[in-house]
Amino acid sequence: MKLKETINHAIQDAFRKAGIDATPISVTEATKPEFGDYQFNGAMALAKSLKKNPREIAQTVVEHLDLGGIIAKAEIAGPGFVNLWLNPNQVAASCDNALKDPRIGVAQKADPIKVVVDYSGPNMAKQMHVGHLRSTIIGDTLSNLLDFLGDEVIRQNHIGDWGTQFGMLIAYLEEVGEDGNTSLKDLEQFYKDAKARFDADASFADKAREYVVKIQSGDAHCLTLWKKFIDISLGHCEEVYEKLGVNLTREDVRAESFYNDTLAKVITDLDKAGMLQESDGAQCVFLEGDEIPVIVQKSDGGYLYATTDLAALYYRANVLGAKRISYVVDARQSGHFKQVFRVAKEAGFVPEDVKLEHVAFGTMMDKSGKPFKTRDGGTVKLIDLLDEAVVRAKEAITAKDDYTPEALENLARIVGIGAVKYADLAINRESNYIFDWDKMLSFEGNTSLYMQYAYARIQSIFRKYGKEVSGTIVLTDELEHRLAVTLLRFEDILDKAAEDAAPNQITSYLYDLVTLFMRFYERNPILKEGVDEQTRTSRLLLADLTAKTIKQGLAILGIEVVDKL
């Protein structure tokens, strides 16, 4: 449910009854249990505009609040804070309702929009690296989240499949002769070998240059080679997607080359908008206040990364009709996106009301704080990294004997991949991220295993209980009350995480929820003899809603749950 909104309305009603116009109201979660569940801290600001004493304003709220609704108790604190306690009956009833709803009480947006999420975007001439891993994981989560909340999500994989390197690469592919599948398994090596050929043999180098021109002019033979190259390369990326369990398919690919035919129009449109300037033979856009111009066409006529992105922005806003376009790309490209977004808006390629955002993320580091590399300084192959995660996860699973070998393999995949994803999503995405196997595969702390373990624990309670649970929730103590209120916060958390494109808000929430649940479970026995039936039912229902919330939360993060760990 939209818990905050409900509380805001209750406060608003109190003001209305007192004849005060006080919109918008915004309550916050209480910082300490002794301050209640929520706090209204707006009295100070209102006092200024109404020229009154803040405590007087707070008093007005307390006097006019309807205490039979969502709020049960309100108290003034300090200079004019209002501490709010939620009504346990209402909280319990809302939890009951959430349990009856397959969406566990999270509404579908009433006003959905089309959102383009640009993520993954590997380069076909190079091995997919850890930066693309981060983009893929964060982008997929953002897409799942917006999709769950009801927006129409259009996933776009802006792969780098165009540029002068491809002349050399396809010339080499032709020379190697075989189907390319084996040699292209290691793109980095393939690139090195091709480059070595290029440097050593002048006639090969000439051919490579000739092939660049030929692909660009649409020569059939070269295009066939190029397509084959891209197809194999993309196939390797898809192996990674498949292992990761992300929802990216060929249909989502809108490669750089997709925009080739519209690049010339980008230049003429910029010219028409009076934004083009020549500098050293290149076509540039100079933005006010920016020292470095955006180069959109080189002196030899070639287009650039920025030109393609301008064409893509036009396509996404006008052909796809997106109202929000989110780029999940390394923070080091923030200068690029700032400029490109500005140019697109100023040139009218993208209407004013379209939200353009760079969902930036930091660099992946190893434990010693250096950029993530193999021992010999090479790029870590993603597929190897993911395979290792599965192997390590198998070691971490304690209930090995309860599984057949195939089932254990599957479990290890869920746990291992889940751990890699969760660790990435759980940090503030803009920070650099330290990749640490031990930390990510720990059962303690803010990890996927901690969540999956709690989920499995609850499933085992239900297995032991062995009966259908029917009845309603009755909150009997402070801890149950807090657990229930936390469960009801789920929708608010998702809404905010979607707005901020911040998956770590979801992981923080899950961590709080599970920690609270574990405490509840320790203190408030469920199946133990002597617990009366009504209390048992209520606690079972709270456990059930906790499990469902963990499951839904993890599903948005692209992580599966298991019944036994």
Which residues make up the interface to ligand ARG (CB under 6 A)? 118, 121, 123, 158, 160, 309, 312, 327, 329
Nearest residue to ligand ARG by CB is 121
Closest CB to ligand ARG among residues 121, 416: 121
Q: Which is nearer to ligand ARG, 162 or 520 (CB)?
A: 162
Closer Cβ to ligand ARG, 121 or 553, answer by number: 121
Helix (H, G, I), strand (E, B) or coil at 526: coil
- Looking at the Cβ atoms of 253 and 542, the one nearer to ligand ARG is 253
Which residue has tokens 């809603």? Answer: 545
- Cis previous bond, 24, omega within 30: yes
| Comparison of 106 and 266: residue with beta carbon closer to ligand ARG | 266
Decide if 429 contacts 504 (C-beta within 8 A). yes
CB of 429 to ligand ARG, least distance (A): 15
Query: Smallest distance, Å, CB 228 to ligand ARG?
Result: 20
Up-side HSE of residue 142: CA atoms within 13 Å toward CB?
A: 32
Give the Cβ contact number of residue 209 at 10 Å. 15
Please say which residue, 309 or 492, places its beta carbon nearer to ligand ARG.
309
Establish how many alpha carbons lie within 13 A of residue 36's alpha carbon, considering only the half-sphere containing its beta carbon: 21
* Maximum distance among all Cα pairs of the chain, rounded to whole angstroms: 89
Distances in whole angstroms, Cα of residue 529 to Cα of each of 23, 437, 526, 537: 52, 41, 9, 13
For the CB of residue 153, give the shortest distance to ligand ARG in the complex, in Å.
16
Q: For residue 63, what are its two tokens? A: 């006097």
Q: How far is the CB of 293 from ligand ARG (least distance, A)?
A: 18
Residues of 113-142 as b/e, b for ≥16 C-beta within 10 angstroms?
bbbbbbbbbbbbbbbbbbbbbbbbbbbbbb
Q: Are 20 and 60 contacting, i.e. CB atoms less than 8 angstroms apart?
A: yes
Token duo for residue 351: 């209407």
Cβ atoms of 61 and 14 within 8 Å: the answer is yes
Query: Counting Cβ atoms within 10 Å, is residue 467 exposed (0-12), middle (13-18) or buried (19+)?
Result: exposed
Minimum CB distance to ligand ARG, residue 168 (Å): 18
Residue with smaller CB distance to ligand ARG, 40 or 259: 259
Nearer to ligand ARG, 118 or 491 (CB): 118
Closer Cβ to ligand ARG, 305 or 511, answer by number = 305
Token pair recorded at residue 498: 């979607």
Q: Which is nearer to ligand ARG, 118 or 480 (CB)?
A: 118
Q: How far is the CB of 160 from ligand ARG (least distance, A)?
A: 4
CA 12, CA 2: separation in Å to the nearest integer? 15
Least Cβ distance, residue 121 to ligand ARG (angstroms)? 3
Whether the CB-CB separation of 194 and 168 falls below 8 Å is answered with yes
Shortest approach of ligand ARG to residue 125 CB, angstroms? 10
Place of tokens 């959905």: 112
Task: Compare residues 95 and 153 and give the one whose CB is closer to ligand ARG.
Answer: 153
What is the secondary structure of 425-458 as a DSSP string? HTS-TTS-EE--HHHHT-SSSSSHHHHHHHHHHH
Q: What minimum distance in Å lies between the beta carbon of 420 and ligand ARG?
A: 20
Query: Residue 332 CB, nearest distance to ligand ARG (Å)?
Result: 9
E strand spans, 28-156: 28-29, 38-40, 71-77, 81-86, 114-118, 152-156
- Shortest Cβ distance from residue 256 to ligand ARG (Å)? 8
Q: How far apart are alpha carbons 496 and 106 in whole angstroms?
A: 13
Q: Which of helix, strand or coil describes residue 293?
A: coil
Q: Is the sign of the CA dihedral 45, 48, 53, 58 positive or negative?
A: negative
